[in-house]
Amino acid sequence: MHKPTAGWHADTIAIHGGDAPQDPHGALVAPLYQTSTFVFDSTHQGGQRFAGEEAGYIYSRLGNPTVNQLEQRIAELEGMQAGAAAATGMGAVAATMMAFLQQGDHVVASDAIYGCSFALFDHLFRRFGVDVSFVDMSDLEQTKAAFRDNTQLVFLETPANPHLKLVDIAAVSKLAHQHKARLVVDNTFMTPLLQRPGEFGADLVVHSATKYLNGHGDVVAGLVTGRSEDIELIKFTTLKDMGATMSPHDAWLILRGLKTLPVRMQRHCENALAVVAFLQEMQQAGMISRLYFPGVNQDEQSHESDLLQTQMKAAGAVIAFDMTGGFRAATRLLDQLSMIKLAVSLGDAESLIQHPASMTHSPLTPEARAAAGIGDGLVRLSVGLEHADDIITDLRQAFTSLK
């Protein structure tokens, strides 16, 4: 039965998006195709399918009905033509970038990105002869100067991991396209509910689906969306041959998580605003030297508040802050919390807190960490779905214990 998907709101696409695999029993939730391979009717059919002469499934690393339903749903949510699913967020980042790179190429990357993305670019890509320039993309002149004749890709996160630095997607996209390069935006911290980078000129949008998209702390996975021809290239070169494809069960769990993404993001953002207000009290009390949250440091970047208005629907629910007492205060605070869990990752129902310098961003060289402004006193908090008062109570008792 044809679905009238045109004109649906994101809240509806999150539940109904993507073609559910046909089920003879009319199951409301499409069955999970937990299979490694698919049986051919004949040798001829098998050959035809491998040759691409006949549509149909072959082997789950080459495509799976449950995974395809998720790929279609995330593409519809991002407003992109197609999607590809990966075993992890890093699988999505790596497969996406490597599909468009070869030895001798150059990449312009933001200096504010997740630690393992930095490591992929700064260690692995260099080993294979791809050069990467890390730039402060809030400085468009510096960004422009970084381009070379062999620049093929531009990569950024906004808001960036770990301290929520914002980048003007449209401005960087213009620079990328002037140099005939593709722009890849990692939209993990926002999700398509709060930001759709394709609307501002991103060619490819990647996600750690581990985070908000799945949202329940029980899956590690990745997704990428873009134009059909780019997604096909990623699927049938790097993803297929690197083997970084997503399991059908993970896809099935993410499809279930996505159904509540709109209401979860609303609650995450409401909670985050209440927690920011409390942390501002701690800042006024001198226990926090700097608070990072989109729109909070108005003096810092008035352009930041413009971007919050133009490319984002809300500020999100990840907060970072520098402890006045540095590493020792940060360590004591994190070790004092009880309901808020001391763990990396973000975007889960559970509030999570961690220490970027020694954890998520430990792969950065000391120089890169300094350039990105990631100090030893920096703490990153992912605000969960608990009652805001209970989150604040836990934070308050931990801060009080430092006095």
Ligand X SMILES: CSC/C=C(/NCc1c(COP(=O)(O)O)cnc(C)c1O)C(=O)O
Task: Please give the positions annotated as active site.
Answer: 61, 114, 186, 211
Determine which residue in the list 150, 305, 324, 345 makes contact with ligand X, applying CB under 6 A.
345
Q: Does 342 bind ligand X (CB under 6 A)?
A: no
Q: At what angle do helices 388-402 and 261-284 cross, to 10 degrees?
A: 30
Q: Are 313 and 195 in contact (CB under 8 A)?
A: yes
Q: Does 250 bind ligand X (CB under 6 A)?
A: no
Q: Which residue lies nearer to ligand X by CB, 82 or 320?
A: 320
Q: Does 346 bind ligand X (CB under 6 A)?
A: yes
Determine which residue in the list 110, 158, 188, 191 makes contact with ligand X, applying CB under 6 A.
188
Q: Does 283 bind ligand X (CB under 6 A)?
A: no
Q: Are 126 and 132 in contact (CB under 8 A)?
A: yes
* Residue 190, φ and ψ in degrees, nearest 5: -105, -45
DSSP per position, 359-400: TTTTTS-HHHHHHTT--TTEEEEE--SS-HHHHHHHHHHHHH
Candidates 6-14, 70-78, 307-315, 343-351: pick the segment binding ligand X (CB under 6 A). Answer: 343-351
Residue closest to ligand X, measured at CB: 89
Q: Does 348 bind ligand X (CB under 6 A)?
A: no
- Least separation in angstroms between residue 118's CB and ligand X is 11
Query: Hey, is 221 helix, strand or coil?
Result: coil
Q: Angle at CA 391, nearest 5°, toward 112 and 387? A: 115
Measure the CA–CA gap between 355 and 358, rounded to whole angstroms: 6
Residue 184, CA distances (Å) to 49, 147, 167, 203, 330 in order: 32, 15, 13, 6, 33
Q: Does 220 bind ligand X (CB under 6 A)?
A: yes
Q: Does 318 bind ligand X (CB under 6 A)?
A: no
Site string for ligand X, 60-99 (x = CB under 6 A): ----------------------------xxx--x------
Q: Which residue lies nearer to ligand X by CB, 73 or 207?
A: 207
What is the rounded end-to-end Cα distance, in angstroms, of the chain? 64
Q: Does 208 bind ligand X (CB under 6 A)?
A: yes
Total length of the chain = 403
Q: Which residue lies nearer to ligand X by CB, 108 or 205?
A: 205
Point out which residues bind ligand X (CB under 6 A): 88-90, 93, 114, 116-117, 157, 161, 186, 188, 208, 210, 220, 222, 344-346, 360
